[in-house]
Amino acid sequence: MKRGLKVIYTTYANEIDEKIAAIFSENFNINPDVRDVREVTDKEIPEHNVLIGGFPCVSFSIVAQNPKRLGIKNELSGKLFFEMVRIIKEKQPKAFIAENVKDLLSANKGEAFRLIISEFEKAGYNDI
């Protein structure tokens, strides 16, 4: 059986930090949208087959001391995974990858991970 090769390319990228966006652009030849992802409407994000995202780990890492490790109780960065949920609900890609630190599993005594998984399942993705 001969296997075909599919071309995979990035259709959209978002990175709020302009310095990181410049590095991304240099490495992947695409200019990320540098707005806060909460300001990006669903219509501005093109259709895609796979969503790959990493929400800020600062709230979940055990090295977080200033501010302290708040997990999902950090209003600024601890709830940005909801933006991934919003996008997959609207766009319904075939798959998604949500990347974070291993300490996400224990953040908020395990409550953070359970909430995140629950929200992805509510969006229709339950085969982990």
What does the pLDDT look like over 42-53, one tens digit per residue? 999 999 999 999
Q: Could you list the beta-strand ranges (E) of 25-128.
A: 50-54, 95-99
pTM of structure: 0.85
- 73 lies in some domain: yes
- 36 lies in some domain: no
Q: What is the total residue count of the chain?
A: 128
In DSSP terms, which residues pair with 33 in a beta bridge?
Answer: 14
- 2 lies in some domain: no
Q: Which domain holds residue 113?
A: 44-122
- 7 lies in some domain: no
58 vs 13, which has greater pLDDT?
13
% of the chain exceeding 90 in pLDDT: 71
Active site residue 57: yes
Could you tell me the pLDDT band of residue 64, with boundaries at 50, 70 and 90?
low
CA distance 84 to 3: 32
Residue-level pLDDT at 58: 85
Of 7, 48, 10, 15, the closest CA to residue 29 belongs to 10
Query: Of 16, 30, 57, 58, which one is the catalytic site residue?
Result: 57
- State the average pLDDT over residues 3-14: 82
- State the average pLDDT over residues 57-68: 77
Residue-level pLDDT at 57: 87
- 56 lies in some domain: yes
Q: Could you list the beta-strand ranges (E) of 11-89.
A: 50-54
- 17 lies in some domain: no
Residue-level pLDDT at 1: 53
Residue-level pLDDT at 2: 60
